[in-house]
């Protein structure tokens, strides 16, 4: 994976009316010749996202808690992969075309100043995910330390003992060090983590299968032969699994443009999305299904609840060397995707709030601080609501932003943007609206978010919980179209590319 150099190394198509409050090098459009990502780089982003400890825990947990046959859960997860693939192709297209990140893309619908609103929401949600993933990565380190020191009995604080806290602080510090060290270290993490995690998981499955023998396949069939829900309830549960998996990816779905802008072409982006989502997700889910079932039979003796955290499963193997190797691998995978999916996007988003005062790096430090607090409270507070509910809630908050973005670009803007107007405060600018704010769009997002979040938390709407993301995205898009239709004539072809090419220095940025 090779990331593009800073935007300051080349001219930017932002026009002569560029405003300093809307621009810095990290937000500038990426020149086509500097976009070097192929299908592999996009594939690697999704593969690492899928392979994180939180991703495994969620997928395995759905097999146990959904209340329907495990094979139906498997099918639902795969369908979610295809649906997410379609969703990100939609949000990635404009960023491939114009080379702009989500924080800038949002200015088209929200206004050049109003885009601070979705950027802030996206940034806050990413911080929650960043903290959660940091905690999950720390469990792998704790597993290795416990194996080395013989699992000592220590007094817990906020649900974590001394080893847990040392592990958590270590992972939090490691991520900051990698961020400070530069993007090249993050790239190396991602390029190593994808294949390494699959290698460890396949090895773990083989080890469990050898011990289970002919008991494994019946275990898979019986352990997940769940028929708690039948009829219409089973259908709702099936669709609910799809919705929860979509919500899991929601943070990356909304800001996928942050990655797509590096793609060489739309074709390579789509190929990477397909290989990284439905294909990789199918293989990963297959492994998680068999490992969870096998570990329940072989390592747990069929007692208690099946373990859904792979770090805990490896810990039961009783091999210290394997435990350490697996811990390193899972930490690398989770840290890598955490930096890319939950660290870089909020750094962009926070920078967008005040480009001249908050740099990309400063936004990253703010993310690290808030994320650390959230992760520290994960066991004692946040996890009490359950991982699926946590995922659905964050997805419900972001969903309306997706609906508005897609409705604006494809139906209101007719797939044509005036790039120069995304960086100007001129009242004549296409995206100036009312003093830089599109109040109609913000109201549409807020109203839609009320309905989507209510679907997660209001008991009478319990059957809609798994649909929260779809509900929020649909209502957000429909409301936006209702208030904006015929208010914005399409952009002329000439306006999309014939923008004065100037450097940032010429504009005093």
State the CB neighbour count (10 A cutoff) for residue 196: 17
Q: What pLDDT shows up at residue 503?
A: 34
- Determine the Cα–Cα distance for residues 287 and 55; give it in Å rounded to an integer: 12
Check: CB of residue 448 under 8 Å from CB of residue 472.
yes
Max alpha carbon distance in the chain (Å)?
72
Nearest alpha-carbon partner for 124 in 296, 287, 251: 251
- Determine the Cα–Cα distance for residues 413 and 422; give it in Å rounded to an integer: 13
- Determine the Cα–Cα distance for residues 508 and 458; give it in Å rounded to an integer: 51
Q: What share of the chain is helix, strand, coil (3-state, %, to 5)?
A: 75, 0, 25
Residue 494 class from Cβ within 10 Å (0-12 exposed, 13-18 middle, 19+ buried)? exposed
297: its two tokens: 């039979």
**3-state SS string over 145-168?**
HHHHHCCCCCCCECCECHHHHHHH
Q: What pLDDT shows up at residue 17?
A: 64
Q: What pLDDT shows up at residue 210?
A: 81
pTM to 2 decimal places: 0.80
Which domains does the chain carry?
7-507 (1.10.4160.10)
- Determine the Cα–Cα distance for residues 407 and 477; give it in Å rounded to an integer: 5
Give kind and range of the element (H or E) at residue 504: none
The residue written with tokens 């992972």 in the block is 171
Residue 251 class from Cβ within 10 Å (0-12 exposed, 13-18 middle, 19+ buried)? buried
Three-class DSSP category at 434: strand
357: its two tokens: 């005062």
Q: What pLDDT shows up at residue 287?
A: 83
Q: What is the pLDDT along the chain (509 residues), one digit of tens a residue?
A: 333 333 333 334 455 567 777 777 777 888 888 888 889 888 888 887 777 777 777 887 887 777 888 788 889 999 999 999 999 999 999 999 999 988 899 999 999 999 888 878 888 888 888 888 899 889 888 988 888 888 788 888 888 999 999 999 999 998 888 777 665 666 666 667 667 777 877 887 887 788 777 777 776 766 566 677 778 888 888 988 898 888 888 878 988 998 899 899 999 999 999 999 999 888 888 887 788 777 777 766 666 667 777 767 776 766 677 777 777 777 877 777 777 777 777 777 777 677 777 777 787 788 888 889 998 988 888 878 777 788 888 888 889 999 999 999 999 999 999 988 999 888 888 999 998 999 999 999 999 999 999 998 998 887 787 788 899 999 999 999 999 987 766 665 434 433 333 333 333 32
């Amino acid at each position: 994976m090779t990331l593009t150099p800073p935007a300051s190394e080349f001219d930017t198509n932002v026009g002569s009316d560029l405003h300093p409050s809307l621009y810095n090098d990290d937000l500038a459009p990426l020149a086509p010749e500097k976009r070097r990502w192929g299908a592999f780089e996009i594939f690697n982003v999704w593969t690492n996202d899928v392979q994180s400890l939180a991703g495994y825990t969620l997928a395995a947990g759905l097999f146990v808690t959904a209340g329907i046959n495990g094979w139906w859960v498997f099918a639902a997860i795969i369908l979610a992969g295809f649906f997410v693939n379609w969703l990100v192709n939609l949000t990635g297209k404009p960023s491939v075309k114009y080379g702009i990140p989500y924080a800038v893309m949002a200015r088209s619908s929200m206004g050049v100043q109003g885009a601070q609103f979705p950027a802030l929401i996206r940034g806050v949600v990413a911080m929650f995910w960043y903290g959660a993933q940091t905690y999950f990565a720390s469990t792998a380190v704790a597993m290795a330390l416990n194996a080395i020191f013989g699992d000592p009995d220590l007094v817990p604080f906020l649900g974590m003992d001394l080893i847990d806290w040392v592990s958590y602080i270590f992972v939090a510090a490691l991520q900051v060090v990698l961020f400070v060290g530069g993007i090249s270290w993050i790239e190396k993490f991602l390029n190593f983590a994808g294949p390494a995690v699959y290698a460890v998981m396949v090895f773990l499955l083989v080890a469990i299968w050898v011990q289970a023998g002919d008991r494994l396949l019946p275990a898979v069939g019986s352990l997940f032969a769940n028929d708690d829900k039948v009829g219409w309830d089973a259908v709702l549960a099936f669709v609910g699994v799809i919705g929860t998996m979509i919500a899991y990816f929601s943070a990356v779905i909304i800001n996928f443009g942050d990655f797509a802008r590096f793609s060489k072409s739309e074709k390579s982006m789509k190929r990477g999305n397909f290989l990284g989502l439905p294909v990789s997700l199918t293989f990963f889910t297959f492994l998680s299904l068999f490992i969870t079932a096998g570990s329940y039979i072989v390592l747990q003796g069929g007692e208690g609840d099946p373990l859904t955290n792979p770090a805990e499963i490896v810990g039961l193997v009783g091999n210290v060397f394997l435990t350490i190797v697996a811990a390193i691998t899972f930490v690398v995978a989770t840290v890598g995707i955490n930096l890319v999916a939950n660290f870089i996007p909020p750094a962009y988003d926070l920078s967008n709030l005040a480009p001249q005062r908050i740099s990309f790096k400063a936004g990253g430090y703010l993310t690290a601080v808030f994320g650390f607090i959230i992760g520290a409270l994960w066991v004692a507070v946040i996890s009490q609501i359950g991982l699926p509910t946590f995922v659905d809630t964050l997805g419900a908050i972001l969903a309306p932003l997706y609906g508005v973005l897609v409705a604006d670009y494809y139906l209101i803007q007719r797939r044509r943007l005036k790039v120069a107007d995304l960086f100007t405060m001129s009242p004549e600018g296409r995206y100036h609206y009312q003093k830089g704010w599109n109040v109609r769009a913000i109201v549409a997002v807020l109203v839609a978010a009320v309905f989507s979040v209510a679907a997660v938390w209001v008991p009478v709407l319990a059957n809609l919980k798994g649909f929260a993301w779809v509900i929020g995205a649909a209502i957000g898009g429909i409301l936006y179209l209702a208030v904006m239709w015929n208010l914005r004539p399409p952009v002329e072809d000439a306006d999309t590319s014939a923008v004065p090419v100037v450097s940032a220095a010429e504009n005093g940025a």
